[in-house]
Amino acid sequence: MLAGGSDEEAAEVELVTGEVLMNAHCHAYRGRHGPLQLDLSHDGKKIDISIHDEGDVVDRGLNIPSTLAPGNEHRGLYLVGKLTDHVEIVHPRNARGGTTIRMVKRLNKLRWLESPLRLS
Amino acid sequence: MVPDFEQNGHHGQRGATLECRTEVVSDCTVIHVSGEVDLATAPIFEKALDSAIAAPHPIIVDFAATRYIDSTGLHVLLQARARHQRAVAAAGLTPTLRRVFELTSVDRTIPLYATVAEALSRICPASTSSEVAGS
């Protein structure tokens, strides 16, 4: 796995990244092609991913739902919220529009090491 | 019983690969899904489910060889369940896939089983052990 995390964490990072990219393709670019920038970094404790698009302003706003909508809408962004430790959305990100979604995921191994209930 | 097979090997629009192989075991349709289910390959998954829905059998989707499924794939699966008059179940999920199904509450609509054999024994009790072992 990247950055010393587990295979499961790698799969979760792949999934949330894919969901945000798909969201940009389907909503910001409405299924058309458009530029995307992905910045990924890690500091040994967490993985930080930012995805920038230059697409349209989403009419209904953009947020990470804390509960599942009854009609199963926004399931992808709901998953993003559940599988990461922090998500922030900058929308629009400049005068031309566009969106940045930044996700931070802490590595599970470090959660265990930092736990006050750790056994000696 | 000799299983019937229908195989659909496909590449999605952007190179992602998904293969769906359909097998009929007794009175159950089993769809073996190999690869990644995402926006590009979801139509392949949908086509396999549509074909299975045409038969009056419960459907078991075998995800043992599925490396990735996103919200598009979950949507296709739930849509199939809504259209099908019989049970639709999922089997063989990796821990990550299982967590995704549980987080999104898909498991409330699509029951999850550890293996195809277990799903067959619950959903299609008429299936024999030899048929299950070969699935």
Domain that holds residue A66: 2-109
Q: Do A75 and B71 touch (CB under 8 A)?
A: yes
Structural tokens at position B25: 């075991």
Q: Is residue A68 included in any domain, yes or no?
A: yes
Domain that holds residue B101: 4-133
Q: Do A18 and B96 touch (CB under 8 A)?
A: no
Q: How does pLDDT run along chain B (135 residues), one tens digit per residue?
A: 434 455 665 555 455 689 999 999 988 999 999 999 999 999 999 999 999 999 999 999 999 999 999 999 999 999 999 999 889 999 999 999 999 999 999 999 999 999 999 999 999 877 654 444 333
pLDDT value for A95? 77
- Number of domain units in chain A: 1
ipTM over 0.95: no
For residues B107 and B85, what is the distance between their CA atoms, to the nearest angstrom? 18
Q: Give the domain CATH number at B41.
A: 3.30.750.24
Q: Is residue A118 included in any domain, yes or no?
A: no
Q: Is residue A105 included in any domain, yes or no?
A: yes
Judge whether A42 is closer than 8 Å to chain B, CB to CB.
no
Q: Is residue A117 included in any domain, yes or no?
A: no
Residue A14 pLDDT > 80: yes
Q: Is residue A89 included in any domain, yes or no?
A: yes
Q: What is the mean pLDDT of residues A18-35?
A: 92
CA B5 to chain centre: 14
For residues B66 and B62, what is the distance between their CA atoms, to the nearest angstrom? 8
Chain A residue numbers touching B76 (CB-CB < 8 A): none
For the whole prediction, is pTM greater than 0.90?
no
- Number of domain units in chain B: 1
Q: What is the mean pLDDT of residues A3-16?
A: 87
3-state secondary structure of A26: helix
Q: Is residue A48 included in any domain, yes or no?
A: yes
Q: Give the domain CATH number at A24.
A: 3.30.565.10
Condensed to tens digits (0 to 9), the pLDDT of residues A38-92 reads: 999 998 889 999 999 999 766 556 788 888 877 667 899 999 999 999 999 988 7
Query: In sequence order, what E strands does A23-113 have?
Result: 36-42, 46-53, 86-90, 99-106
Residue A94 DSSP label: B
Residues in chain B: 135
Judge whether B15 is closer than 8 Å to chain A, CB to CB.
no
Residue pair B37/B45 in contact (Cβ under 8 Å)? The answer is yes
Q: Is residue A49 included in any domain, yes or no?
A: yes
